[in-house]
Structure 1
Amino acid sequence: MKATIWHNPGCGTSRKTLEILHDMPGVEVTVVEYLKNPPSADKLAQLYRDAGITPAQGLRLKGTDAEERGLPQAGDAAVLAAMAAEPKLIERPLVETDKGARLCRPQDKVREIL
């Protein structure tokens, strides 16, 4: 099985999720450091759709100016555009497999798609 993780190595939850992926037999992991290589707005929209959440639910509030900018109440297109332009606004980690996508907070949510 192939798995892609949009990873922030400075985040403990992201590191723990990556560890779960590496410990699973038969899982081929692709790591994307999204702060260096952010996903497009279209890719984010697809990930959130596959995860069954809205872009606003995938918005990182802690340590960002998302609240001040009114992003939690903004429309999907505005939230996705802001995330693509400033990837620090993306809550992490996001994981995608053939079975779907998950925002892995807590990290054990990744097991739902393995």
Structure 2
Amino acid sequence: MTMDVTIYHNPECGTSRNTLAMIRNTSIEPTIIEYLKNPPSREQLVRMIADAGLSIREAIREKGTPYAELGLDNPGLTDDQLLDAMLKDPILINRPFVITTMGTRLARPSEVVLDILPDTHKGPFTKEDGEQVLDAQGKRLV
């Protein structure tokens, strides 16, 4: 099966690497956008977040970012202010976002990506931390 798949990827992130590997395990080579180097436009970011069923605040990454220093935990901030911060400093965009014809997901945990991929897995899949996600027949375990 051929399918257009795009991943907003950070190669330094284990969750992002696992997600990319699960996509490839379906024999699909996705379009990879290293979002720290090539961040989405405001319109793309808003669409991805909405299509994933998330609020703007749910799409912000706190860990390993200037989230606290920037005061982004202030509940009085508007969505526009949060988006401005995310676009100014893309490390604040949680990852990986994956877009397919079957939907859009923030793949946290990484196996969430399986919800929007065809069931064409090439066999077992084990995440970097040793957790097995797919069995020898490519069937989902988690």
TM-score, with length taken from structure 1: 0.93
> What pairs with 1:5-84 in structure 2 (closer than 5 Å)?
5-25=7-27, 27-72=28-73, 73=75, 74-84=77-87
RMSD: 1.2
Q: Which runs of 5+ in 2 are unaligned?
A: 118-142
Structure-2 separation of matches of 1:75 and 1:90: 16
Alpha-carbon deviations, 1:49-101, whole Å to 9, x = none? 00000111010100112123232432211111211111110111110011221
Tell me, yes or no, if structure 1 residue 104 matches structure 2 residue 74.
Answer: no
SS of match in other structure, 1:61: coil
Q: Helix, strand or coil for the counterpart of 2:19?
A: helix
Matches of 1:41 and 1:82 in 2, distance apart? Answer: 11
Alignment gaps of 5+ in structure 1: none
Distance 1:41 1:113 in 2: 23
* Runs of 4 or more above 6 Å deviation: none
1:41 is displaced (CA, Å) by: 1.5
TM-score (norm 2): 0.75
| % identity of equivalent residues | 47
Larger helix fraction of residues: 1
Deviates further, 10-19 or 80-89? 80-89
Give, in angstroms, the shift of residue 28 of structure 1: 3.9
- Count the aligned residue pairs: 113
